[in-house]
């Protein structure tokens, strides 16, 4: 008897759910989009895109979602359209039960700015992807310039292809080394506040330009880069703090366990 009772209860529950879902589905077919709500999850850190820009994109003549029935709105198509903006890392679009179209956007986080040999300028973000500059907003990040031949294709976010480190693709080798070096600097509080520029010389070696001190740091390759930075920090704390930060024109840390200084 109890088994029959349980079956009846489950049967009634399933029937109720079917009817309720059918009611919701019918109601959804009649609901039209009345508002677009855009949320930038990281707008305090970066301001490459704005809420008004996204709304304008979704309200362009011939493609506006306003007034459309919600079941006719292709959210995947909208996401793809938004992601064409090279400054956007992630876009999620969905429709609420009230008929609002909600757009959640995460922007790319630039780690350093490249000025290549031809004068092209673009960012590399913390995922190793290229992203365009913005006319409205400039990120205050490291600048890398000099003998850099890696070009930029407008309006596309592209990987810098760090897995290709052979002789036929030396430009990617340099970009990947730049990425490693910049990542270390950006993640270290001391060096993030001290280093403002990375220069790539004709030998494809790195030279660092500090914010404090009238000297140039000859860094060399990124081999043992963490040890080089560790030694340089000790020299800063125990050497330059005593003799002065403007007494040298060059500080050479290219060679293992050596710091060679050129006096002014």
Judgement on whether residues 43 and 67 belong to the same structural domain of the protein: yes
Q: What is the pLDDT of residues 176-190, one digit of tens each?
A: 899 999 999 999 999
Residue 207 is predicted with a pLDDT of 97
Most confident of 17-21, 249-253, 257-261: 249-253
- State whether 100 and 161 are in the same domain: no
pLDDT tens digits, 110-156 = 999 999 999 999 999 999 999 999 988 999 999 999 999 887 776 55
Q: Which residues contact 37 (CB under 8 A, 6 or more apart)?
A: 100, 101, 102, 103
Report if residue 150 sits inside a domain: yes
Top mean-pLDDT range of 22-26, 122-126, 256-260: 122-126
Q: Which long-range contacts (CB under 8 A, 24 or more apart) does 230-237 make?
A: 231/257, 231/259, 232/259, 233/190, 235/259
Residue 13 lies in a domain: no
What value does the mean pLDDT take over residues 17-33? 54
Model pLDDT, residue 152: 78
What is residue 20's predicted lDDT score, i.e. its pLDDT?
Answer: 44
List the CATH number of the domain containing 103. 3.10.20.310
Q: In terms of domains, do 82 and 132 share one?
A: no
Structural domain boundaries enclosing 223: 110-263
Mean pLDDT of the chain: 83
Determine the pLDDT at residue 11: 58
How many structural domains are present in the chain? 2
Between CA 134 and CA 32 the distance in angstroms is 35
Q: Is the pLDDT of residue 197 over 90?
A: yes
**Residue 198, domain CATH:** 3.40.50.11690
- Give 71 or 123, the one with higher predicted confidence: 123
Residue 11 main-chain phi, psi, to 5 deg: -65, -45
Same domain, 132 and 217: yes
Per-residue pLDDT band at 19 (split at 50, 70, 90): very low
d(CA 190, CA 203): 28
149 or 243, which is more confident?
149
* 187, 220: one domain: yes
Residue 24's pLDDT is 46
Q: Which of 90-99, 188-197, 215-224 has the lowest mean pLDDT?
A: 90-99
**Pair (165, 212) in one structural domain:** yes
Helix (H, G, I), strand (E, B) or coil at 116: coil
- The verdict on 121 and 140 lying in the same domain is yes
> Domain for residue 22, yes or no?
no
| pLDDT band at residue 22 using 50, 70 and 90 as cut-offs | very low
Share of the chain above pLDDT 70, in %: 81
Task: Over range 92-109, report the average pLDDT.
Answer: 89
């Amino acid at each position: 008897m109890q088994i029959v009772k349980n079956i009846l209860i489950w049967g009634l529950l399933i029937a109720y759910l079917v009817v309720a879902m059918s009611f919701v589905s019918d109601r959804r077919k009649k609901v039209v989009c009345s508002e677009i709500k855009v949320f930038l999850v990281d707008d305090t850190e970066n301001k490459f895109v704005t809420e008004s820009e996204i709304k304008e994109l979704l309200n362009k003549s011939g493609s506006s979602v306003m007034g459309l029935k919600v079941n006719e709105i292709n959210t995947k198509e909208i996401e793809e359209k938004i992601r064409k903006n090279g400054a956007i890392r992630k876009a999620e679009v969905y429709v609420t039960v009230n008929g609002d179209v909600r757009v959640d956007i995460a922007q790319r986080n630039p780690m350093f700015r490249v000025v290549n040999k031809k004068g092209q300028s673009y960012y590399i973000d913390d995922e190793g992807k290229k992203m365009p500059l913005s006319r409205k907003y400039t990120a205050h990040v490291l600048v890398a310039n000099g003998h850099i031949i890696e070009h930029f294709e407008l309006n596309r976010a592209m990987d810098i292809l760090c897995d290709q480190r052979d002789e036929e693709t030396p430009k990617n080798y340099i970009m990947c080394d730049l990425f490693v070096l910049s990542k270390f600097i950006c993640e270290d509080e001391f060096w993030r506040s001290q280093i403002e520029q990375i220069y790539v010389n004709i030998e494809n070696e790195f030279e660092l330009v500090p914010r404090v001190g009238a000297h140039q740091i000859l860094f060399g390759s990124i081999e043992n880069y963490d040890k080089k930075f560790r030694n340089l920090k000790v020299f800063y704390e125990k050497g330059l703090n005593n003799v002065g930060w403007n007494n040298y024109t060059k500080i050479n840390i290219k060679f293992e366990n050596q710091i060679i200084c050129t006096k002014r």
